[in-house]
Homo-oligomer: A and B are copies of this chain.
């Protein structure tokens, strides 16, 4: 057991009195030193959200008993919760097509140790980025998609994800739509990058549409994938100014930087267990 490790709880429940008190009392009784606590009340929805992180060093509950003991409080307050340990390394599968900028950026972050995660698997519908996977010693699975093989390839993909024990799927400019059924198997565990400021310019060729409309700012959006294309809960967005001087090609070039930044920030927040999705929105703790 890593003595520097911490645990965190991500909690959501109906708003009511005494929630923070109950949680912090639980931690104190077990000698847990709180490192970070953040809460949010959605007064309209009468919903309460909380993230609390504490040191495991002197905490007097073994890891495998925390959830069980906490359930007593959770049940009383109708909480949904997730328990995470900071020294667990989530296992990421990256899905790509041909554009290399997002995956390049992700691999550089992972390789330099910025991301506390494992990337054992890259899946692509094109062979182009196999050499990149090789450089980093990551398994590359070519799964080309046609109308005919779609179903079969989905099964194979899901099998791979299971075999590799994948926790998080990142669509790094993956040019295929995942089926409803697929999405439902990884709820809030598939992150996509869309190359526009959603909900503006959904669908294909958003930079062309942005140029056509003459906007003065373009953006990128990272969101959890749901069965509604481009409609999932937004995790992070960023924008940049453009002008009449920017051609569609300029937008595409400049946009790449937005895309890789926004995707990286969304993945970071997820890896830190700081994202709570509800009602097609997200609470992103800071």
Distance A216 CA – B238 CA, assembled complex (angstroms): 8
Within 8 A of B (CB), among A92-118: 100-101, 104-105, 108, 111-112, 114
Q: Which of B114, B215, B281 contacts A198 (CB 8 A)?
A: B215
Task: Pick the contact of A214: B105, B233, B264 (CB < 8 A).
Answer: B233
Q: Could you tell me which residues of chain A, from 24 to 57, have a CB within 8 Å of some CB in chain B?
A: 24-25, 27-28, 31-44, 49
Instruction: Give chain A's interface secondary structure class.
Output: mixed
The residues of B that contact A125 with a CB separation of less than 8 Å are: none
Instruction: Name A243's contact: one of B104, B257, B286 (CB within 8 Å).
Output: B286
CB-based contact B31/A41 at 8 Å: no
A256 contacts across to B, CB distance below 8 A: 114
The one of B28, B219, B284 in contact with A17, judged by C-beta atoms closer than 8 angstroms, is B28
The answer on a CB contact under 8 Å between B216 and A234 is yes
- Write the nearest CB–CB distance from A23 to chain B, whole angstroms: 9
> How many monomers of this chain does the complex have?
4
How many chain A residues touch B (CB < 8 A): the figure is: 66
> Complex formed: what's the CA distance from A243 to B269 in Å?
14
Pairwise interchain contact A112-B108, C-beta atoms closer than 8 A: no
Contact A286 to B237, CB < 8 A, known contacts A18-B28, A108-B100, A213-B199 = no
Interface residues of A (CB under 8 A from B): 17-18, 20-21, 24-25, 27-28, 31-44, 49, 100-101, 104-105, 108, 111-112, 114, 135, 197-201, 213-217, 219, 233-239, 241, 243-245, 247, 253, 256-257, 261, 264, 280-284, 286
CB-CB nearest 5 A-B residue pairs: A214-B281, A21-B24, A200-B200, A104-B108, A216-B237
In the complex, 23 of the A-B residue pairs with CB atoms within 8 angstroms, ordered by the A residue number, are: A17-B31, A17-B32, A17-B34, A20-B37, A21-B25, A21-B28, A37-B39, A38-B39, A43-B247, A44-B247, A49-B244, A100-B108, A101-B112, A108-B108, A199-B200, A213-B234, A213-B281, A214-B281, A215-B234, A215-B237, A216-B235, A217-B237, A244-B283
